[in-house]
Amino acid sequence: MTESKILSRQQAAEQAEQWRNSGQRIVFTNGCFDIVHLGHIDYLEKARALGNRLILGLNTDASVSCIKGPLRPVVNEYARARLMAALEFVDAVTLFGEDTPLELIYTIRPDVLVKGNDYTVATIVGADFVLSNGGSVETIELVPGYSTTKLIERIKQSY
């Protein structure tokens, strides 16, 4: 059942268009989501609350390695996609392998683009596009002390 929420880029765009045509606000965010923790859950719940549907752009394994280093991800893209799709507040998951989600944002055309408050609107990839199409760009306060990198370090120190 959760696999049905994992969509190709084209399927995600078509689904977004159907939702938009029925009057629903489409929220988009993206990330690696390697080793899911409270910070991820809190962030995604808050993102979904900004609209009616949440589409999550998930970095492929190759793109995670480019961003986080050769030892990452810890959890492979299929498992990460299934985990994200299992969350009730995530309506669709689509993978992307580019350096940024810009092409995915162009394809999905979200009404709301969301990132954590470690970004500013000026530094969020795709913000100009979403704003120029009448959408909004929002930042969400992150839960202090939660990051996958810090979690991995704690595990390494403990074992």
Mean pLDDT of 92-99: 97
User: Taking Cα atoms as reference points, which of 114, 75, 103 lies closest to residue 9?
Assistant: 103
* Residue 32 burial (10 A CB sphere; 0-12, 13-18, 19+): buried
Distance CA 159, CA 145 (A): 20
**CATH code of the domain occupying 2-158:** 3.40.50.620
Q: Is the pLDDT of residue 1 over 80?
A: no
pLDDT digits (tens, 9 = 90+) for 54-76: 999 999 999 999 999 998 999 99
Q: Is the pLDDT of residue 115 over 90?
A: yes
The string over 49-75, giving b where at least 16 C-beta atoms fall within 10 Å of a residue's C-beta and e elsewhere, is ebbbbbbbbbbbbebbeeebeeebbeb
